[in-house]
Structure 1
Amino acid sequence: MIERYHVEEIAQVLNGHASGRDSYVDASWRRCVEVYGMDPTRNEPAHIVTETEFRTHREQAEWMIGAARSSLKTLFRQVAGQNYVLLLTDAKGVCVDFFGDDLFADELRGAGLYLGSNWSEDLAGTCGVGACIVTGEPVTVHQDDHFGNAHTALSCTSAPIYDSLGQLAAVLDISLLRSPSPKSSQNLAMSLVTSAARRVEMANLMAANRREWVLRFSSSPEFLDVDPECAVALDGSGRVIGATHAATRMLSRERQLIGERIDGLLGISVDDLPDLMRDRPTEERVVALGDGGAVFGHAIAPQTPRRPPGATVSRTSGGVLTGLAGSDPGMERLLSRVERLAPTEVPLLICGESGSGKTKLARAVHMASRRGGFVTLDCAGMPADEMASVIEAQPRPATLLLRRIEDLSEAAALALPGLLDAHPDLRAIATSGLSPSALLSHEILPCALYHRLAGAVFELPPLRERQDLGWLIERLLRRLSGGEMRLTPSARAELMARDWPGNLRELGNVLDVACALAEGCVIDLPDLPEPPRASNQEQSLEAVLDACNWNMARAARRLGVNRSTVLRRIRKQGLRAPN
């Protein structure tokens, strides 16, 4: 009887009626049916990754496990005897660390509250960890908030853990096999898990920046030195190179925090930091905020001599890069290479069609490298002397982004290698709408400049060839609408079938228009702007088929031809579907 009511309630939400539950629960139920194709009547068991997969996830999260372990132990002591279990998952939802009572070990394994369980929303349905990953906010998914009948006895409260560059790195979850009916019974669990997540972020920031200034904040002087609310790490010039999530919210004011100078954010400069150390009374360490308010500040000096200009840290966080792609093998391989190169001095050349994300990738590389400044030069029409003056004026070490390098004037192209060689602490990243072979074969760039810039070359695939198109659609829609808007199946199928000559830029514009035109929170076919009509016969058939998982009908729609034409071209080119 209870299961029937649960299924009926989900059906009402799918028909556009609010359930009276938290909005993130309704939104998740809709995704479970319309995006993931789940059935609430099926009693799906917990998804456990293989031993090999678990080892991979565990190894990649080792640094976060180390930062979190002390806070998890403290939290588990706080809830001892109340039958809570603690899970630490990575950003993909896989449990990599666990604290629970051995008396209930078998029951916890059966419920998936154990090492190796995957609580991502597309596998587990509506759940605490999955909803936290999607929203990026602390959530409680209580009993029949869960989508699947297998989990409706559980109560799960989860909080996100962000890395020091602002990317989701992990989720801390506190769960009960059985709990009182009111959702408010988990308010204490929410307070405990959010405080623990904040401390994990603080511990990670401190561990990663032992050789830099760290500035911690608290609204109360009593807790400043023992349990501050947030913190930023600063390089020797006073630029922010890392921050906890709470600090980003406090200081960023809707702009990028990493790379900002502290004197542009607060009423202090890097020279004032010694005045905020522990040798002064806490009440006197007042820091003015940009909005006119004030907090108390605690500055921690570098523990060892600061690394020399141009030196790099030994470990980078992949979070800022992993957010650029979903399950696309080509993009995963590309981003894996980029992650290894990000902290080095190697100059990069990024090629790809207009709108494919070249500038976004370049900025992600800069953030992962933890360099100070980031300056962009639009190469079209820039005189050599103006380019030289801009480069000379940049603080260093910094990243220099050269957009559309193929548009450099001949004089600027001849001068640029010498300028870069004269400033070795400027790391060059160039982007181009042409392929690497076109840049060389047509002598668009002098060979000396090409080889000076192309230390490593990356070619971003166009959107029509990416296998994570569905993931990108959902991610952009969530970002544009705050998770409030959803697509009908027919609207989603139409977007999946389009050619996207404007790539990510076009997709973002289409979703922006659709959100504005839609009635309520549902985007349907009439809300989508018409696609531009152009011939697509020249694009790679095999790449389109791969992106469509060899679905002939979808490939035909994307190419703008009949299904029979696709089959004829497959036979003519001798193509075979992968096993």
Structure 2
Amino acid sequence: MTQRYSTPPATALPDVIATAHARSLSVGLRASEAPDFHPLRRPALRELVERNHALCAHALPVMETLYAQIVDTQSMVLLTDSEGVILHSFGDSDFVEKANRVALCAGVSWAESDRGTNAIGTALVDGQPTVVHADEHFLHANRILTCSCAPIADPFGRTIGALDVSGDTRGFHKHTLALVRMSAQMIENVIFTNQFADVIRIHFHARAEFIGTLFEGLAAFAPDGRFLAANRSALFQFGRPLATLQTQTFPELFGMALPALLNHATYRPGECVTLTLPSGVRVIARGEYAAGARQVFRAPADEGFETGVRSIRATRPANAPAQNVTFATLDTGDEQMSAVLRRVGKVRGRDIPILVLGHTGTGKEWLARAIHNDSPRRDAPFVAVNCASLPDTLIEAELFGYEDGAFTGAKKRGSVGKIVQADGGTLFLDEIGDMPLAQQVRLMRVLQERNVVPLGGTRAIPVDLRIVCATHRNLRAMIEAGTFRDDLYYRINGLAVTLPALSERTDLAALIARMLDLQRDSDAVPARVSSAVLERFQRCRWPGNLRQMANVLRTAAIMAEGEDEIGLEHLPDDFLQDCDTAPERYVSPSMQTVRSASTTPGNMQDWQVALIEQTLGRNAGNVSATARELGLARNTVYRYLRQRRTH
């Protein structure tokens, strides 16, 4: 019988696929070859996974989120190393059996040289996101598949793995590759942030609404202004190759002296400035730096973790500039807010842990900063950790630190961790309700014994710090459900206060004036809003609270540059639409129940669930748009979606 090769005429295939088929033939593969049923043995696979520990730790939470979006579509999500060997997978149970028939499982190499043209192998060869559908596969056996794959790069552009969605050909959808590409970029951004946790990071984009999203540019700089690395979005915006950027400095790339940006980040935390790229394009940017970044605390090459701890303590300036948020800053005339400040003020300067409750975006971190700045610890560090934004696999290392060699992928000389960075000052644990149980136990031990043992270490490091925690969750209900430890709850709840939602506050005009004053970076930006805008603001429901209002004002101020005041024409269209559909004055359904959250289980969660449902429906299921509107992290919305599917 005549051998039937799978390669159609080259003119019938896209150039990428035709070229890949030619490569498959050139290495001697035959289209009729049977799948390779000899994956790595378990010890060898475990060793390979351990060598790729950092990649797996950052990728697995994203894979879970991606799988939640394609569940029940006869598909699976796969992660490979840089050579195309499958490390992990999530899949529909009824498709996994079919996938196993073609060796689409952990420990098997899907490199192009082993499996011919396929999305994983071809994407890794070309370094580009790739779709290979049905008959485009080189091997006959793989034609039951439709696959979409995107390479994953480290902050220096080196390919370290690939993310793939493979499924039944009948379930092919042209949008799958977009989901895979965005998920791969999300992994890269998390890797970037973790690898450059101890230096200066710049978040920027030409459009203000993209700051804090997947599409923002990320660039890392040494304290002396030297460029270190950038993510894909930043490289695209710079329009220059990485090698060229590595010869340049912050002023050359952004047209501003680095100390000026850091001064702005210090005195106006979280606020953006306008910078100019070498191309002349103006971007909105936000700078951030780790505690001690301006006085680098990296130990010499022959010294270890303990030296790093001593160094960070020794190099702290005696009078570091405090971020100037105080009780007076926050007291803008609302009686509910004033009552909160009076209660907290009574324990000022005392080592009593404070638990701040309230909906997302109500200003919990601002209150924590005010507590720190109005205390004897004001000259020591204020270190904030968002427990909801860190994958479970990273929060332990981020909080408690680790020794050199504690795990594969760990930074040389280790990391001191946020708890040690906060020594002498205040540690703010935002969204404490999202902390995994295992880390709750370790945190409880730190609070009891006032020392911390880093991962991989044996010596306890004494720490002196004040704890302020915050959450939008009902911790008492979580204790009953077994997801939050009661001993930790009573340790962090020395004094509990609840911040009012923006829709419940009576000081809207004063808040607007204060926010505009903080955001003004030039005389061209208006200092006030029109009466029509104020009236529209008073009608808004503000589901994202202060964070949402700050974002709306930031965008409007940019649009109104050169005008006397911000008018309706300067407000975002989607915000105006929401206001038009809102009641005359929104009263939060949780206004009464938030006050009694400690005795009525579940009401805060119920309010958020209803709000997310409504907003998702209004945005046709678009998670990014929903997160922006509510002022939430996308992970929070994704977590809600996963929980909804399991109930």
TM-score, scaled relative to structure 1: 0.48
TM-score, scaled relative to structure 2: 0.43
